[in-house]
Amino acid sequence: MRPQPNSLYARDVEYVLHPNTNARRHEEIGPIVIDRGEGIYVYDDQGNRYIEGLGGLWSVAVGFGEKRLVEAASRQMAKLPYYHTFSHKTNEPSVELAERLVKMTPERLRRVFFTNSGSEANDTVIKMVWYYNNAIGRPEKKKFISRLNAYHGITIASGSLTGLPANQRDFDLPFLPVKHVTCPHYYRNALPGEGEEAFADRLAAELEATILEEGPETVAAFIGEPLMGAGGVMPPPATYWEKVQAVCRRHDVLIVADEVINGFGRLGTMFACEYYGIDPDIMVLSKQITSSYLPLAAVLISQEIYDGIADNSGRIGTFGHGFTASGHPVPAAVALENLDIIEEKGLVANAARVGEVMQSELRTLSDHPLVGEVRGVGLIAGVELVADKATKAKFDPVGRIGAQVFAKAHEHGLIIRAIGDVIAFCPPLIITEDQVRDMVARFTRTLDDVAESIGK
Q: Decide if 79 is inside a domain.
A: yes
Whether residues 278 and 375 fall in one domain: no
What is the model's pLDDT at position 422?
98
Name all contacts of 315-324 with Cβ < 8 Å and 24+ positions apart: 315/135, 319/131, 321/124, 321/127, 321/128, 321/131, 322/85, 322/86, 323/115, 323/116, 323/120, 324/84
Q: Decide if 3 is inside a domain.
A: no
Which alpha helices (H) appear in 59-155, and where do they start and end? 67-79, 92-104, 118-135
Q: Is the pLDDT of residue 6 over 80?
A: no
Q: Give, as one character, the DSSP assignment of residue 27.
A: H
Q: What is the mean pLDDT of residues 75-95?
A: 98
Whether residues 257 and 363 fall in one domain: no
What is the model's pLDDT at position 192?
96
Q: What is the mean pLDDT of residues 370-391?
A: 98
Q: Which of 297, 290, 289 is nearest to 325 (CA)?
A: 297
Per the document, the length of the chain is 456
Q: Decide if 12 is inside a domain.
A: no
- The domain boundary residue, chosen from 304, 321, 344: 344
Q: Decide if 24 is inside a domain.
A: no
Alpha-carbon Rg for the chain in angstroms: 22
Residue 38: phi and psi, rounded to 5, are -155, 115
pLDDT band at 456 (very low <50, low <70, confident <90, very high): confident
Q: Decide if 95 is inside a domain.
A: yes
Whether residues 296 and 201 fall in one domain: yes
- The domain boundary residue, chosen from 344, 375, 404: 344
Whether residues 161 and 286 fall in one domain: yes
List the CATH number of the domain containing 265: 3.40.640.10
Taken in order 310, 312, 313, 318, the sign of the CA dihedral is negative
Q: What is the mean pLDDT of residues 264-284?
A: 98
Q: What is the mean pLDDT of residues 78-104?
A: 98
What is the model's pLDDT at position 28?
94
Domain extent at residue 389:
32-62+346-453
Q: Is the pLDDT of residue 3 over 80?
A: no
What is the model's pLDDT at position 344?
98
Whether residues 97 and 177 fall in one domain: yes
Q: In what order do the strands lie in the sheet with 422-425?
A: 371-377, 380-385, 422-425, 417-419
Whether residues 213 and 329 fall in one domain: yes
Q: Is the pLDDT of residue 5 over 90?
A: no
Number of structural domains, the chain? 2
The Cβ-side half-sphere exposure at 273, using a 13 Å CA radius, reads 26
Q: Decide if 26 is inside a domain.
A: no
Question: How far, in Å, CA of 206 to CA of 211, rounded?
Answer: 9
3-state class (DSSP) for residue 104: helix
Question: How far, in Å, CA of 357 to CA of 8, rounded?
Answer: 39
What is the model's pLDDT at position 110?
98
List the CATH number of the domain containing 382: 3.90.1150.10
CA distances from residue 326 to 94, 114, 159, 295, 415 in whole angstroms, order as listed: 9, 5, 21, 11, 32
Q: Is the pLDDT of residue 1 over 50?
A: no
User: Left if phi > 0, otherwise alpha if psi is -120 to 50, otherwise beta: which for 95?
Assistant: alpha
- The domain boundary residue, chosen from 309, 344, 379: 344
Whether residues 52 and 89 fall in one domain: no
pLDDT, one tens digit per residue, over 152-183 is 999 999 999 999 999 999 999 999 999 999 99
DSSP readout, 305-320? HHHHHHHHHHHHS---
Percent of the chain with pLDDT over 90: 98
Whether residues 279 and 354 fall in one domain: no
Q: Which of 308, 332, 303 is nearest to 319 (CA)?
A: 308
Helix, strand, coil % (nearest 5) of the chain? 45, 15, 40
State the CB neighbour count (10 A cutoff) for residue 196: 15
pTM here? 0.96
Question: How far, in Å, CA of 301 to CA of 98, rounded?
Answer: 11
Question: How far, in Å, CA of 333 to CA of 355, rounded?
Answer: 28
Q: Decide if 16 is inside a domain.
A: no
